[in-house]
Amino acid sequence: MDTSQTFRFAHRGPSPLVRLVFFASLSLLLLFVDVRYRYLESARISLSVLMLPIQEVATLPDRLWQQARERLYTQNSLVRANLRLEMQHQQDAAQLVKLNALTQENLQLRTLVALPPPSGYTQQMAEVIYAERDVFKRKVLVNKGSMALVQAGQVVMDDRGIVGQITRTYPWMSEVTLITDKDHAVPVQLLRTGMRTVLLGAGDTSQLTVRYLPVSTDIQSGDVFVTSGLDGVYPAGIPVGKVVKVERDPAYPFARVRCLPMAGVDHYRYLLILSSLAKPLELPIEPESTVKSTPVKLKK
């Protein structure tokens, strides 16, 4: 009975070519709709719930290995780690006191010159579930999703610098696009000279690059880029990358700059998701009011 069904199936219905054309055009339609309009996010979320068990099982060996390693820590290494952390903590505490004083002073100065206080941000920890299995992309999935109020656009960092940005949220996890992704750009400032530019992911390597930087720019290897905070997405002053190589080829109008990310973009387990409380759309109102008020004064 089974064989007869197979037989009928094979010889009935539309021809393979028709079927290919149908499914290929369906795929292309989906591609177009997904890229252009992003209508399919809800479908993706519901399908991702189906895929969740598979992803859980796939990360199981790694998690078991981590747990086993945690159990196998020796007393000696724990004591050493504890000592190191204690020293780090003391150093950090001293710096924190200084930072608090500076923040207070900064706030006072800002009120003196009537600037709005810098926007703060809250943060939450998340653990990397797994890195994207695609050679074309630099993305990781973390275990906090829209249930934990994570939103697309939030900034992700580790203890050393910017790691990336949340680009898509699912109920129980979210997708982080790393700063080394080719399409990813971070507005930055050179710490030494204050020059503002945009740091882009190199794509095929775990590096960052600056495009269209004139040959005469004052930049050297060892320089550090921090976020400029101009975009309203990234909080200002967080380390992003370190310049490792500057090539000044006279044949090209632009210098070729290679940077390495400060954060351990490819090797970390715990990340911080920052929820920025910034309201970036306040500026444009003021010029409008001044424009309106000036003609009135002129008439008088």
Partner 1 sequence: MYYLTYTKATLQRPASNFLIVLTLLLALLFNALPWQGVGLILRPDAVAVVLLYWCLQKPGHIGIGIAWMVGIFSDVADATVFGQHALAYSVMAFSSMMLHRRLQMFHLYQQIPQVFGMLTLTYVVYALIDWQLNHTMVWWYFLGCITSAFSWLLLSIVLQIVQQLREDHDPL
The residue among 123 and 132 lying less far from partner 1, judged by its C-beta, is 132
CB 122 within 8 A of CB 275: yes
CA distances 53 to 48, 133, 142, 168, 218, Å, are 9, 16, 15, 19, 52
Q: Does 64 help bind partner 1 (rule: CB under 8 A)? A: no
Residues of this chain, 225-284, that bind partner 1 according to CB under 8 A: 266
Q: Which of 50, 68, 114, 285 binds partner 1 (CB under 8 A)?
A: 50
Residues of this chain, 137-196, that bind partner 1 according to CB under 8 A: 137, 139, 141, 168, 175, 182-183
Number of residues lying near partner 1 (CB under 8 A): 53
The residue among 136 and 270 lying less far from partner 1, judged by its C-beta, is 136
- Nearest CA among 181, 178, 176, 173 for reference residue 55: 173
Q: Does 216 help bind partner 1 (rule: CB under 8 A)? A: no
Tokens representing 248 are 């000044």
The residue among 131 and 236 lying less far from partner 1, judged by its C-beta, is 131
CB 287 within 8 A of CB 273: no
The residue among 169 and 276 lying less far from partner 1, judged by its C-beta, is 169
Query: Helices in the chain by DSSP H: which ranges?
Result: 2-11, 16-36, 41-71, 75-112, 285-299
Q: Which of 69, 71, 133, 279 binds partner 1 (CB under 8 A)?
A: 133
The residue among 92 and 266 lying less far from partner 1, judged by its C-beta, is 266
The residue among 26 and 102 lying less far from partner 1, judged by its C-beta, is 26
Q: What share of the chain is helix, strand, coil (3-state, %, to 5)?
A: 40, 25, 35
SS (H, E, C) 62-125: HHHHHHHHHHCCCHHHHHHHHHHHHHHHHHHHHHHHHHHHHHHHHHHHHHHCCCCCCCCEEEEE
Query: Residue 240 CB, nearest distance to partner 1 (Å)?
Result: 22
The residue among 243 and 263 lying less far from partner 1, judged by its C-beta, is 263
193 DSSP 8-state letter: T
Q: Does 211 help bind partner 1 (rule: CB under 8 A)? A: no
Query: Residue 278 CB, nearest distance to partner 1 (Å)?
Result: 27
230 DSSP 8-state letter: T
118 DSSP 8-state letter: P
Q: Which range binds partner 1 by CB under 8 A, 42-50, 92-100, 150-158, 218-226?
A: 42-50
Q: Which of 24, 64, 78, 79 binds partner 1 (CB under 8 A)?
A: 24
The residue among 14 and 214 lying less far from partner 1, judged by its C-beta, is 14
The count of other CB atoms within 10 Å of the CB of residue 81 is: 11
Query: How far is the C-alpha of 30 from the C-alpha of 36, rounded, in Å?
Result: 10
Query: Residue 33 CB, nearest distance to partner 1 (Å)?
Result: 8
Q: Which of 106, 123, 131, 230 binds partner 1 (CB under 8 A)?
A: 131
Query: How far is the C-alpha of 2 from the C-alpha of 289, rounded, in Å?
Result: 78
- Nearest CA among 158, 240, 166 for reference residue 198: 240
List of residues contacting partner 1 (CB under 8 A): 1-3, 6-7, 9-10, 16-17, 19-20, 23-24, 26-31, 33-35, 40, 43-44, 47-48, 50-51, 54-55, 57-59, 61-62, 130-137, 139, 141, 168, 175, 182-183, 203-204, 266
